[in-house]
Structure formats: C-alpha cells, structure tokens
Amino acid sequence: MNILLNKMRYIKLFEAFQSEVKFYRFNREDLLNGQEEGIYTPNKRITWGDQLYNQMLVNLGFPDREKCIHFMDNKAFSESSSFKSIYGEWVYEVEVDDESILGWTFCLVINDWYYDYYKNKLGDNLIVKSVRDYAESLGDIDYKEANDLRIKYLIDKGIIGYGTLEDLKKSPFFGKENLFAWTCDPVKVKTISSPQKVVKEPKAYKNQPLLTPEDFTSKEEMANFYKTNGSTLKRLKDVMDAKQLDHSEVREEALSVLKKWREL
C-alpha cells in the first residue's frame, strides 16, 4: 500500500511539470543516479561569487543561490557549447513548476554583473552597453553604493528579476536574449545527449512571402498591386521579423490590404 501511495505521489509530482518552456543544464556529475528522468530537489551547494552579493539579492526576493539549481534557456544553451568544458559533460533538459520562484538574468550570468566582467563582454550588445554607460555615469563613488545602484538599475530595466514562469515570460527580453536562471524549488530533469538536440529550427516563415501568386486573379493584378502596395508589405514583413510575430497573423493583415485595394 505504501509503495502504491508513494508511486501515486511521484506521478502527481511529475504532472506538476507540464510547462511548454524548457530549460537546459550542464553538470559535472549525474544528477539522477543512472535514471533517464526524475525530480531533483536543490540542496546546499558551494557557489562562487561574493556571499554578500548573494545575500543582497535574497533580501530583495531572489532565490538563494547557495541552495539552488541553475539552468539556461534554449537560446543560451544552443549558443553555449563552450560551457560544457566549464560545467561538465552531463546534459539535462529541465522543467520548472508554474508556481516555482525563479531568479533570472539576461545576456550574462548573474555574477558577471557584480564582478565588472560585463565591461569586457558582449561589446555590441545594447543591453550590456546600457549598463556600462550607467555605471560610468555614476562617477567615482563608493564601490558598495555603486553596486547597489547598478543592481537597482538592472532590476528596474528588467535585465535581472525574480518571480514565476509567467512573470519571466512577460519580460521584453524573454526569447530574444540569452537567459540564465535559478530556483530553490524542485525541478524535473531529463537526460539528453547533447546541445544539438535542442537547437531551435529556423522559422520557415522568415523566407516566405506574405502574399503568393495564388492570392491574385492574374499576373497583371499582382503587378498593379505591388506598384502601389509593395512598400506596405515590406514594412509588414520587417515588423514581423523584428518582433518575431507569427507569419499567419501578419499574412492576414496583408490579405486585408489586398482586399481593401480591390475595393478602391
């Protein structure tokens, strides 16, 4: 009976991790003791970085990095194969519960913002550049005060933050900049063989036109339409690519432009 109850609790716990957002992690040792997947509960860990810095973040509401598990989003994972030599050969897919409290940082890992590493990293990244410019604007003030102000700047700009998965997804940087996150709550982990398994496929729509020859009654109509509306469709395509909008939605707008043109 106890075995059955334990099995049911385990299944119920697994069902809590149903988010469409997946994260990924390298590790120096097997988190699952030979199992393919399971629930991992973070515990006390040795972490590098200033303890006072970590405590400052904890006081603000961030999860405690001294008892957490770190992971990254698909974008960071796909672009960070060099991390394998730093963090280990074991590779995992990670799912978090929707109610878990996460800490997160975009562009750089959290310690980089404290140790001034950002000054020499991602030189052309506008987000990192904005932090550099802000730090320089502070002038020659006490280091602790400068750090406090810089952390406030990072939070105010949404570059670092904490909250649930839904809170994270509301960030304007989500899915656009490399994301590094951590939580003290249990996570579901699954062994995978390599980062290549989770590289995002390029979106097919990026090379697809918004309108096709089949949308027109003749080649002549298509030519006449593009004479007066070609620039409009180009703007729609540029907005779609820049904001990563769904192709079908933007195509509907293009079809609406065509319909209105026909009614003139």
Instruction: Please provide the DSSP assignment of 117-146 as one string.
Output: GGGGS-TT-HHHHHHHHHHHHT-S--HHHH
Which has the higher per-residue pLDDT, 7 or 68?
68
**150 and 215 belong to one structural domain:** no
**117 and 209 belong to one structural domain:** no
Q: Give the torsion sign (CA, 156, 161, 167, 170).
A: positive
**101 and 133 belong to one structural domain:** yes
**Cα atoms in the 13 Å half-sphere on the side-chain side of 20:** 2
User: What is the number of domains present in the chain?
Assistant: 2
8-state DSSP, 82: T
pLDDT, average across residues 234-239: 80
Given 198, 218, 237, the domain boundary residue is 198
* Confidence grade of residue 243 (pLDDT, cut at 50, 70, 90): low
**172 and 86 belong to one structural domain:** yes
Structural domain range at position 221: 204-263
Give residue-wise pLDDT tens across range 96-153.
999 999 999 999 889 888 877 667 777 778 999 899 899 889 888 887 888 889 899 9
- Residue 38 confidence (pLDDT): 92
- Residue 3 confidence (pLDDT): 39
**144 and 225 belong to one structural domain:** no
- Residue 242 confidence (pLDDT): 67
Give residue-wise pLDDT tens across range 48-102.
667 888 889 999 999 999 999 999 998 888 776 556 566 677 889 999 999 999 9
Does this model's pTM top 0.85? My answer is: no
Going from the C-alpha of 217 to that of each of 209, 223, 225, 232, 262, the distances in angstroms are: 17, 11, 11, 20, 11
**123 and 90 belong to one structural domain:** yes
Point out which residues pair with 96 in neighbouring strands.
187
**194 and 227 belong to one structural domain:** no
Contact between residue 148 and residue 55 where contact means Cβ atoms under 8 Å apart: no
Q: Tell me which of 3-17, 66-80, 225-239 is least confident.
A: 3-17
**52 and 87 belong to one structural domain:** yes
**119 and 93 belong to one structural domain:** yes
Give residue-wise pLDDT tens across range 189-214.
999 876 554 444 444 455 678 888 88
**50 and 88 belong to one structural domain:** yes
Question: Which has the closest alpha carbon to 189: 67, 43, 65, 27?
Answer: 27
**113 and 43 belong to one structural domain:** yes
